[in-house]
Amino acid sequence: MLHLLTEQLTWTNFAIFCAVAVALLLFVLVWVMLEIYFERKILGAMQFRIGPNRVGPFGLLQSAADVFKLLIKEDTIPRKAEKQLFVFAPILTFLPSFSIMAVLPYADGFLHADINVGLLYALSLSGISTVGIILAGWSSNNKYALIGGMRSAAQMISYEIPIIISVVGVVMMTGSMNIRLIVEGQAGYFWNWNFLPQIIGFVVFVIASVSELNRTPFDLPEAESELVAGYHVEYSGFRFAFYMLAEYIYMFVFSALIVLIFLGGWNAPFPQLDFIPDVIWFLIKVCCIIFFLIWLRATLPRVRLDQLMGLGWKVLLPLSLLNIFVTAAYMGIKSWIIGG
């Protein structure tokens, strides 16, 4: 199907594109429901609880029941809210999360938008969702929602710079921002993966990704104990569902980016295991990262806003800059040895 991208647009091609988009959307919806289910089950097991076990076999339909409940609930808009922005904010938060998936290669030769600046595209779009959170807090005409939106703005300033600088070392080593080429550069044994030579960038990217996802311990914009649910406190029904959908899509997206940039993408840890399909290796790694994020939520307490900003400016930013100089020195020494 890759040839369709270079052919003249016809009604047949347009229908194929629409069918692929609908199939991807359905995959996302099913994945999010399973993601929520397994998160609740894992959290329950870690905290000596049972988790969902009533709706459907083993509680598998609990997430579907929750989605149905949100869709049929009354859609309320505060009387003094900025109605246009209030309605637009959830859409602005969701659309970038879904658009990023267009550039993620799930396997070798898998249909995706193979653009030369795919990495920059993905990281740039992820920042747009924060604008939707800020708009939600401001347009709700609610002090608690506004504080949640302002926290999100402060959080964005603190982690967006380190998360982008942390991948510069990978771009320097690969010579490209094309995600497919970054993965192909990690072929072979697992010690060829970028997380070893780029261990500093890897750690900074993972920590900043947790902050990007607004998940524990960095879930300050939606701190229930302080802000009665934060920026989306005035949202109900399907508009609230948009925010939850975007959050769990971003869990998949950033787990996929961690796998593609640092953990070899679809490559097996040993060439002898290449008989296993590429997409299986990719999904196994993504599920491991998602499990790690759930583990963090069950383990760590929420930090204060000043602690988060201090971590971003005083620790993550200097480390990400240090990683660039270390990578440059490593590449210089390597080329001198090879040239000598």
Query: What angle in degrees, to the nearest 10, is found between the helix axes of 317-339 and 143-165?
Result: 10
Could you give phi then psi for residue 88, rounded to 5 degrees?
Answer: -80, -30
Please check whether residues 65 and 104 belong to one and the same domain: no
| Structural domain ending residue among the three candidates 72, 96, 121 | 72
| Structural domain ending residue among the three candidates 23, 40, 72 | 72
Please check whether residues 213 and 302 belong to one and the same domain: yes
> In 3D, which of 116, 122, 329, 105 has the Cα closest to residue 205?
122
Please check whether residues 252 and 288 belong to one and the same domain: yes
Please check whether residues 85 and 60 belong to one and the same domain: no
Instruction: Taking residues 256-285, report their average pLDDT.
Output: 92
Q: What is the largest CA-CA distance in the chain?
A: 74
Please check whether residues 178 and 31 belong to one and the same domain: no
The boundaries of the domain holding residue 28 are 1-72
Please check whether residues 134 and 251 belong to one and the same domain: yes
Please list the alpha-helical segments (H only) found in the chain.
11-46, 62-72, 83-100, 118-139, 143-165, 168-174, 179-184, 199-212, 224-227, 237-262, 278-299, 305-310, 317-339
Please check whether residues 328 and 222 belong to one and the same domain: yes
Please check whether residues 153 and 291 belong to one and the same domain: yes
Secondary structure class of 198 (helix, strand, coil):
coil
Please check whether residues 43 and 168 belong to one and the same domain: no
Distances in Å between the alpha carbon of 297 and those of 39, 96, 207, 214, 241?
Answer: 10, 24, 13, 11, 20
Predicted confidence band of residue 340 (pLDDT cuts 50, 70, 90) = low
Whether the pTM exceeds 0.85: the reply is yes
Spatial neighbors of 302 by CB under 8 A, at least 6 apart, are 216, 217, 218, 219, 220, 223
Taking only the tens place, the pLDDT of each residue in 7-48 is: 566 778 778 878 877 887 888 888 889 999 999 999 999 988
Q: DSSP of 267-336, one letter per residue?
A: --SSGGGTTS-HHHHHHHHHHHHHHHHHHHHHHPPPPPHHHHHHIIIIIIHHHHHHHHHHHHHHHHHHHH
Q: HSE of 222 in the Cβ direction (CA atoms, 13 Å)?
A: 18
| Structural domain ending residue among the three candidates 38, 53, 72 | 72
Taking only the tens place, the pLDDT of each residue in 208-267 is: 999 888 888 888 877 767 777 788 888 888 888 888 888 899 999 999 999 999 999 999
Task: Please report the pLDDT score of residue 7 as a whole number.
Answer: 54
The single residue listed with the structure tokens 């005083």 is: 314
Tokens found for residue 267: 């490559």
Which range is most confident: 23-32, 91-100, 291-300? 291-300
CA distance 270 to 259: 16
Task: Please report the pLDDT score of residue 322 as a whole number.
Answer: 95
Taking only the tens place, the pLDDT of each residue in 102-125 is: 888 888 877 677 888 889 999 988
Please check whether residues 249 and 320 belong to one and the same domain: yes
Please check whether residues 211 and 304 belong to one and the same domain: yes
Q: Is the pLDDT of residue 3 over 50?
A: no
Please check whether residues 135 and 38 belong to one and the same domain: no
Q: Is the pLDDT of residue 205 over 90?
A: yes
Q: HSE of 90 in the Cβ direction (CA atoms, 13 Å)?
A: 19
Count the domains in the chain.
2
